Amino acid sequence: MKNLPAVRTKETFQQLFESTGTMFFCPGRINLIGDHIDYNGGWVLPAAISLGTYAMASLNNKNTFSLYSCNFEQSAIQIDLSAPSLQQKLKGHWAAYVVGSLLEIEKQTGKKLSGMNIVFNGDIPRGSGLSSSASLEVLTCYLACYLNQISIDKIAISCWAQASENQFVGVNCGIMDQFAVANGEEGKALLLNCQSLNYELIPINLGNKVLVVMNSCKPRQLVESKYNERRMESEEALKQIQSIRNIDKLTEANLEDIQIIRDSLIRKRAHHVITENRRVIESVEALKKNNLIRFGQLLSESHESLRLNYETSGEEMDQLVAAAKQNKDCLGARIMGGGFGGCALALVKKDGIDQFIQSVDKKYLSTIGYKAEFYLPLLTDGVKELE
């Protein structure tokens, strides 16, 4: 094992439990295009990336779970899954993502899980919007099934992880992040239909171009409440359109339908959802034809729609995207994921990458006052055991 976070996970496990266990990894994700579409039942194009969460785990022949994280201050915790009020006790604690997932497995399979010793260690920057929560949840579901000999169905695991985040952690996210980190494949993105959960793996061959992830490093503020507000606005748009058309999801509507919506803010939200869903399909067509100029334009159009119509951008993200697009080697850029901070994505010519990063870095620092971070994501397999 050459990878540093994995080595640290193993060493920590050996120190704490004086034994060894099985090593697992679950990636984080980027989303090439298709934001605020999953909970509206449309198409998204995420991919699993090599930043992620490692865990070493073993059964401990007890009824309790000894959990340890290398990433948080309250790092060690002992859990009895049958103890009362776990949800209240773990509010705001990192272990809520783990315990919620374990309880969800018990609920879904009707099987009582055996106790385990687990050490977690992630290298996804916290608050970056690269899905560290989904990574931890899916990793937990996978390793618990693996060690308890429950047959592994990665689509089911994605749904259990999402249910745990919705109901136990209390964040009302869609299915995209959990699905991507569970089902990703090396070098590929997933064209996922969020209503049927059918998906197609799309090879991402960018030739002499690369994807650059630009982390705004903006401190997280009110992200969840604004996300929930957008979900409610989408529901409101759907409700109004349903008065004239028999549809289940907002992505089934078209731009004519939204004329029925009187409130211009709700109409703008619906406009984003309908056009973004189309951009996902068009992006896949462009990628299949190797038309990276068009794909770059679609990224920039997505940003404009998220900025003006869905209003999930903000000064930091707009500055990052504007600085990226000013660069002659950039084919397009957009805010990515839930928004209100987090990361943006740019498509850039390989030859110009150093100069691109330097110039965006400098412009961002001078306008925003703190530094951005840059990563070149490798597209990887979804959750799996290592070694």
Q: What residues act catalytically? A: 177
Element of type H or E holding 187:
none
Minimum distance, C-beta of residue 277 to ligand GLA, in the bound complex (Å):
11
Minimum distance, C-beta of residue 222 to ligand GLA, in the bound complex (Å):
14
Question: Residue from 12, 30, 36, 272 that binds ligand GLA (CB under 6 A)?
Answer: 36
**Could you say whether residue 223 binds ligand GLA (CB under 6 A)?**
no
Instruction: Give me 83's structure tokens.
Output: 């103890």
Q: Which residue matches tokens 């209100």? A: 340
Q: Per residue, what are the HEC states of 252-310?
A: HCCCCHHHHCCCHHHHHHHHHHHHHHHHHHHHHHHHHCCCHHHHHHHHHHHHHHHHHCC
- Please identify, using beta-carbon distances, which residue of 69 and 132 lies nearer to ligand GLA: 132
CB 215 within 8 A of CB 335: no
Quote the distance between the C-alpha of residue 324 and its chain's center: 22
Minimum distance, C-beta of residue 331 to ligand GLA, in the bound complex (Å):
22
- Please identify, using beta-carbon distances, which residue of 104 and 357 lies nearer to ligand GLA: 104
**Could you say whether residue 35 binds ligand GLA (CB under 6 A)?**
yes
- Please identify, using beta-carbon distances, which residue of 296 and 339 lies nearer to ligand GLA: 339
- Please identify, using beta-carbon distances, which residue of 177 and 257 lies nearer to ligand GLA: 177
| Piece of the chain touching ligand GLA by CB under 6 A; list 30-38, 149-157, 291-299, 324-332 | 30-38
| 375 torsion bin: left (phi>0), alpha (psi -120 to 50), beta (else) | beta
Q: Which of residues 173-192 bind ligand GLA (CB under 6 A)?
A: 173-174, 176-177
Q: Which residue matches tokens 């930043």? A: 51
Strand arrangement, sheet containing 188-193? 43-44, 188-193, 199-203
Q: Going residue by residue from 309 to 338, which x/- string records binding to ligand GLA, judged by CB under 6 A?
A: ----------------------------xx
CA distances (Å), origin 108, targets 102, 113, 156, 180 = 10, 12, 9, 21
- Please identify, using beta-carbon distances, which residue of 75 and 193 lies nearer to ligand GLA: 193
**Could you say whether residue 303 binds ligand GLA (CB under 6 A)?**
no
**Could you say whether residue 39 binds ligand GLA (CB under 6 A)?**
yes
Minimum distance, C-beta of residue 271 to ligand GLA, in the bound complex (Å):
16
Minimum distance, C-beta of residue 106 to ligand GLA, in the bound complex (Å):
24
Instruction: Give me 158's structure tokens.
Output: 């994605």
| Piece of the chain touching ligand GLA by CB under 6 A; list 14-22, 31-39, 79-87, 255-263 | 31-39
- Please identify, using beta-carbon distances, which residue of 126 and 350 lies nearer to ligand GLA: 126
Sequence letter at residue 283: S
- Across the chain, the runs of DSSP E, i.e. the strands, are 22-31, 43-44, 46-59, 64-69, 76-80, 116-122, 188-193, 199-203, 209-215, 330-335, 343-349, 373-375, 384-385
**Could you say whether residue 125 binds ligand GLA (CB under 6 A)?**
no
Size of the site for ligand GLA (CB under 6 A): 10
- Interface residues toward ligand GLA, by CB under 6 A: 35-36, 38-39, 173-174, 176-177, 337-338
